[in-house]
Chain A
Amino acid sequence: MNTFNYERANAPEGAIHSGAVHGAKFLAGGTNLVDLMKYGVEAPTTLVDINHLDLSQITSTPDGGVRIGALVRNSDLANHSTIKTQYPLLSQALLSGASPQLRNMATTGGNLLQRTRCYYFTDVSFPACNKRMPGSGCAAIKGYNRIHAILGQTDHGSTSGESCIATHPSDMCVAMAALDARIEVQGAKGKRTIPFAEFHKLPGTTPWVETTLRPDELIVAVTLPPAKFAKNAYYLKARDRNSYAFALISVAAGLEMDGSNIRSAGIALGGVALKPWRIAEAERVLIGKPAGAESFHQSADILLRGAKGYEHNAFKIEMVKQGVVRALTLAAQGTPEGIQS
């Protein structure tokens, strides 16, 4: 690990000022950043510890939604009374990820900025990784690509093919995408809000640019609109072991029911692309229809349009197809009873 300056920030303005210096990084939970520093993937010259900023509140918003401070820990968010009763999809996703120890450390803002778990990215002994070394290539395309992307990896505007087939590792983000979250950021020039779908970027020809966050900006909160899926939500996660493992694929499914018909839906996929995968049309086709396998299959097919498997991960296409139908079926059956109390 390289040496670095360590400083504690007491106010967002001070943190933003210190964080804007070239080579500086914000330190929140540290579960991903400190790990990558040990591997030599990250080498900040200054760590600005933001853990003492007052960004740990969960509050109601005037429109009936909820605002989650960027430093709210994953375990606290999952167990917050409003989240578990009104946004059970988010509680389920959070509690499906990592371990209790890591969830006690990991923050809402940090989770948004998790880096990929692609082995070729994490292990610096592999010379080819366009994320680490722009222009060096992608070792995963012809390597061992079992955990890699099947969607969004091709740049349709170019003929140069894929630049990166990594996936985004977060569970929390998949639920937040389906819930239409917005991200509040603060920079030297003031605050702005980024819709969730515009926050993470697909690789395109610049896979090292992962978000639309600017270098001088700090995530201060995530807001959720009024809850629609409190009664019908299911987060399905398929993985190699039943706990403490990243998703091969995951499906966040929320349904707003009108009797036996679907009034609205939110569906996002994890483990398949460099960002949570959401297609508006896959939700639109469900509106006004009864909950049933036929329309759920249609949704799955739309989500999988343009999917491309590689040597070791083609199984993900079928897994998503079945996963979407299963998650929507379980969501339609209702969030387990106890959650409503």
Chain B
Amino acid sequence: MSVPTVDELEGAEIAREEKELEKNGLHFELSRRRFMQASTAVSAGLAAGIPGSLAAQTPESTRAITLKVNGQSKALTLDTRTSLLDALREYMDLTGTKKGCDHGQCGACTVLVDGRRVNSCLTLAFAAEGSDITTIEGLAKTTDPKEIGDLHPMQAAFLEHDGYQCGYCTPGQICSAVAAVEEQKRGELSIVSLHTGKTEHPEMSDDEIRERMSGNICRCGAYPNIVAAVRSVARGVSA
């Protein structure tokens, strides 16, 4: 008489449980379990590198990385496919940065990399290693802001001017606006500056603000108040 293997014991156990489930009419749970068993077998095959399987052809893609965000360095192990956006949200608990389109078309994911505004959805985390990354969580004057005065002036201006409705695009709008004001102060041009001939020290007219903020879409249509918030900071006047 042969001694049953562990697998056979487990198999007998599973069969008993399944009979129980069937008897109680729990067909959904039964099919879920069977699906999970089947896919476990498939992934085991992949991990084992069965000849001809996908696993045999795909490169090893998980690596160590250190990201410096809001002044703090954090060591992580990430898949090379991870976008900076996903690294922030899924691995660093920095969920202020939002995922809108995930294709560089909406600006909700805007963060500052070495002081420049970029779309974090199209930035690979590994390409951002070694850079100083600033997210919406790192803009305020204090780490634990309690009053409006503790906030970054642009954050305060969005509050004062009601520059949002649902608020989903707001962190991207604010990060973008912070950089837009800096760019204008440095004398950088937009197509509006070129078309109006105001290329020496372009002023933040409303047309300039709209053009310079055009990389951030707001589906609620809070644009008039967003422009008002940016205007108040750019022109150094409070509400």
Contacts and interface: CB of A to CB of B under 8 A. Distances in A.
Interface residues of A, number: 41
Contact of B61 (A4, A37, A99, A104): A4
Nearest to A34: B122
B44 to A, nearest CB: 18
Interface stretch (A46-54, A154-162, A263-271): A46-54
A16 B79 CA distance: 25
A101 B101 CA distance: 15
A337 B176 CA distance: 29
B222 interface: no
Nearest to B214: A243
A45 B59 contact: yes
Contacts of B199: 84, 336, 338-339, 341
B227 to A, nearest CB: 13
Interface in B71-89: 79-81, 83
Interface stretch (B23-31, B144-152, B163-171, B186-194): B186-194
B122 A35 contact: yes
B58 interface: yes
A84 B191 contact: no
B104 interface: yes
Contact of A95 (B79, B104, B110, B191): B191
Interface string A65-83: 0000000000100110000
A1 interface: yes
A19 B188 CA distance: 35
A100 B59 contact: no
A88 interface: yes
Interface string B43-67: 0000000000000001111010000
A101 B196 contact: no
B102 to A, nearest CB: 7
B205 to A, nearest CB: 14
Interface string A1-28: 1111110000000000000000000010
A279 to B, nearest CB: 27
A141 interface: no
B156 interface: no
Interface string A287-328: 000000000000000000000000000000000000000000
Contacts of B123: 30, 34, 105
Contacts of B98: none
B59 A30 contact: no
Contacts of B124: 6, 27, 30, 34, 47
The residue among B191, B193, B215, B216 with the most chain A CB atoms within 10 A of its own CB is B191
Contacts of A46: 59
B191 A101 contact: no
A31 B122 contact: yes
B180 interface: yes
Interface string B206-230: 0000111011100000000000000
A280 B190 CA distance: 31
Contacts of B104: 31, 35, 101-102
A102 B215 contact: yes
Contact of B83 (A31, A34, A79, A105): A34
The residue among A6, A79, A101 with the most chain B CB atoms within 10 A of its own CB is A101
Contacts of B127: 27, 30, 49, 51
B183 A78 contact: no
A104 B194 contact: no
A98 B212 CA distance: 11
Nearest to A105: B118
The residue among B81, B107, B183, B210 with the most chain A CB atoms within 10 A of its own CB is B81
B197 A6 contact: no
B195 A3 contact: no
B195 to A, nearest CB: 7
A31 B189 contact: no
Given A30-B122, A336-B195, A101 B110 contact: yes
Given A3-B61, A4-B81, A34-B124, A84 B117 contact: no
A329 B124 CA distance: 44
A79 B182 CA distance: 14
Contacts of B119: 31, 101-102, 105
Q: Considering the complex of A and B, which 4 residue pairs feature the smallest CB-CB distances, nearest first?
A: A99-B215, A336-B197, A243-B214, A3-B61
Interface of A: 1-6, 27, 30-31, 34-35, 37-38, 45-47, 49, 51, 75, 78-79, 84, 88, 91-92, 95-96, 98-102, 104-105, 243-244, 336-339, 341
25 contacts: A3-B59, A3-B61, A3-B79, A4-B59, A4-B80, A6-B80, A35-B122, A47-B80, A47-B124, A49-B126, A49-B127, A75-B188, A78-B189, A88-B194, A91-B194, A99-B107, A101-B118, A101-B119, A243-B211, A336-B196, A336-B199, A337-B197, A338-B193, A339-B194, A341-B199
Given A37-B81, A102-B119, 19 more contacts: A1-B81, A3-B80, A27-B124, A30-B123, A30-B127, A31-B119, A31-B122, A49-B126, A49-B127, A75-B116, A79-B187, A91-B189, A95-B191, A96-B191, A100-B180, A100-B183, A101-B215, A244-B215, A336-B197
